[in-house]
Structure 1
Amino acid sequence: MQRVIAFFILSLSWPAAVLAQGYMARVLHHPVPGGVAVIPLGTAEQAPKVFYGKDRVMVLRDSDQQWIAVVGIDLKTAAGRRAIRVEGAQGEVGFQVGAKNYKSQHITLKNKSQVNPDPEQVRRYEREYKEQIDAYRRFRDAGPSNVVLDRPVTGRLSSPFGLRRFFNGEERNAHSGLDFAVPAGTPVKAPADGVVTIVADYFFNGKTVFIDHGQGFITMYCHLSAFQVRQGQEIQRGQVVGQVGATGRATGPHLHWNVSLNNARVDPAIFINAFQP
């Protein structure tokens, strides 16, 4: 009884805005470059259709019964005001993107072609990149089954999202996912229901699986040693999709895990309650 009374007294001191937010807004709202903005859209009967730039945005009903837009913010986005477009009466709805600094990482690779590929390898990479971007841009109205995700493997988080990466002293794209340091052969499990859209062996990513969870919510699993799914397969939360390996541009066994919303790669740590401001 004393705990109930204490909780009630504590809740009276919380800001009204916090109490008014639904569960997903409280968990996912980290509006920084590489983060997620959760924007309330009201309580209409039908879900509104929302766009951020040219890309369709996920819209869900939160625990407070409000519709929310769950917007992925690209890592290269500068701090400042941005806006989504809501079809219908609302029109444009603004939100603020804050600043966030990311650390650097220096990696030495013995395979020099994975730093400076030859022309044939560049052409291969360009084909593979287009295939991946097409998968990221896909939008299915159905789903997702859940947006607070299970970890695909159990293990230590190693390289975080957003690191500025230098390979053999040369700067390349920032780290667009989250790495788990786990042994080769560790089963990799789907963190939500979905449809497998890519099963492929890529130049940089190695053996790779993409899962479309619905509404532009896509996850990617790289450097696998083996697959346990096929393209087009419907899978359920907790189902094994492959095993951890060190294929592609990797210095040792680990899982590289990407999360994408509205074609923006965002910090996977947000979805497993491990985000570091």
Structure 2
Amino acid sequence: MSEGRAGAVAFALVLLTSSPTFADPASVTWHPAKPRTGDVAWVHVKNVTEAATVEGSVDGRPLTFFPYGGGHAALFGIDLDAKPGSYAWRVGVVEKGQEPQTAQGALRVQRRQFSVERLSLPKGMVDLDPETERRANDESKRLATVYRLITPERLWRGKFTKPVGMVGEGTGFGARRVINGQPRSPHGGSDYSAPRGTPVVAANGGRVALVADFFFPGRLVIVDHGLGLYTLYFHLDTIVVAEAQRVERGQPLGTVGATGRATGPHLHFGAQMRAARVDPATLLGLGFLD
């Protein structure tokens, strides 16, 4: 990781008043300073109390803050197809008995280079008949509905962990796929190859938002971690949890399989942050969650 990627950029908030009776102004720090498409970035607001009201947005999309590290923090997901460039952000703080403070700036998103993968699959798994196409479209809409639901509380604690043990890595996040010679949608997660029946566990605490058997992802579990963050577990062979069930980090969800459109046993592990498709590896690397 380069210094630019690992670094942070900080801003001081300014008071919306000239009164001299306030404590040190709050500060805003973004990590990393130069995120890439597909990353989960996070912002830390310091020199504020846990009782403070903190709100903000990036490119008009709301940030949901939670108490952290003597201040407040929020996650921001950058979709894998987001355009590189500057994204305007704003953060506001209100402390009881004090005047509001605000800061604004630009988050500079860098272009990320994704690999290209060429696959050969049975024709019936690529060129869908009308009935199967309707099914797949309906299932896609159902997934989108799940990702739009924002649980207002943080359900995860501590670091995120890999959902499978020591296994091989398959198709990477964001890979541009060419299936039977036809360009298809980019790969929205990371694939981990493992023998059928290998245990799959929750990457962190949350609530099971969906258990289903869909055409493309096969048997699946989606875990809601709160504040718009979800993790996805596709192509499962067996499932041992139910919808609305609370799960903890490392708790079994099911086992690796090859259901849905799959070339062999593997786990497709994905993440969504407020409907942005983000690299689950960036969740695993968020050390601030300790």
Q: Give the letter aligned to residue 41 of structure 1.
A: V
Q: How far apart, CA to CA, are the structure 2 residues paired with 1:123 and 1:259?
A: 25
Assess, with a 3 A threshold, how the Cα gap between structure 1 residues 55 and 116 changes in structure 2: closer, same or farther: farther
Q: 1:139-158: CA deviations, max 9, x gaps?
A: 11211323631110012222
Normalising by structure 2, we get a TM-score of 0.79
Q: How far apart, CA to CA, are the structure 1 residues paired with 2:59 and 2:200?
A: 33
Tell me, yes or no, if the aligned pair for 2:33 and 2:107 is still in contact at 8 Å.
Answer: no
Equivalence map 1:132-211=2 (5 Å) = 132-146=143-157, 148-154=159-165, 155-211=167-223
The alignment yields a C-alpha RMSD, in angstroms, of: 2.5
Equivalence map 1:40-79=2 (5 Å) = 40-45=44-49, 46-52=52-58, 55-63=61-69, 65-79=70-84
Equivalence map 1:206-245=2 (5 Å) = 206-245=218-257
Give the Å deviation of 1:50.
3.3
Structure 1: gaps of 5 or more residues:
1-14, 19-23
Name the counterpart of 1:21: none
Give the Å deviation of 1:92.
4.7
Tell me, yes or no, if the aligned pair for 1:227 and 1:241 is still in contact at 8 Å.
Answer: yes
Percentage of identical aligned residues: 35
Where relative contact order (Cα < 8 A, 6+ residues apart) is larger, the structure is 1
SS at match of 1:130: helix
Which range moved further: 153-162 or 251-260?
153-162
Tell me, yes or no, if the aligned pair for 2:34 and 2:107 is still in contact at 8 Å.
Answer: no
SS at match of 2:65: strand
Tell me, yes or no, if the aligned pair for 2:153 and 2:227 is still in contact at 8 Å.
Answer: yes
Q: How far apart, CA to CA, are the structure 2 residues paired with 1:52 and 1:191?
A: 26
Q: How far apart, CA to CA, are the structure 2 residues paired with 1:246 and 1:16?
A: 41
Q: How far apart, CA to CA, are the structure 2 residues paired with 1:192 and 1:94?
A: 31
Name the counterpart of 1:39: 43
SS at match of 1:269: helix
Assess, with a 3 A threshold, how the Cα gap between structure 1 residues 60 and 74 changes in structure 2: closer, same or farther: same
Which range moved further: 230-239 or 36-45?
36-45
Give the Å deviation of 1:99.
1.5
Tell me, yes or no, if the aligned pair for 1:56 and 1:262 is still in contact at 8 Å.
Answer: no
Q: How far apart, CA to CA, are the structure 2 residues paired with 1:17 and 1:83?
A: 14
Give 1 or 2: higher helix fraction. Answer: 1
Name the counterpart of 1:119: 130
Q: 1:26-50: CA deviations, max 9, x gaps?
A: 6x77611111222333433325233
Q: Give the letter aligned to residue 128 of structure 1.
A: E
Q: 1:73-95: CA deviations, max 9, x gaps?
A: 01111211012354665375421
Give the Å deviation of 1:97.
0.2
Q: How far apart, CA to CA, are the structure 1 residues paired with 2:64 and 2:40?
A: 11
| Structure 2 counterpart of 1:81, from 76, 79, 86 | 86
Tell me, yes or no, if the aligned pair for 1:29 and 1:36 is still in contact at 8 Å.
Answer: no
Q: How far apart, CA to CA, are the structure 2 residues paired with 1:16 and 1:265?
A: 23
Tell me, yes or no, if the aligned pair for 1:197 and 1:231 is still in contact at 8 Å.
Answer: yes
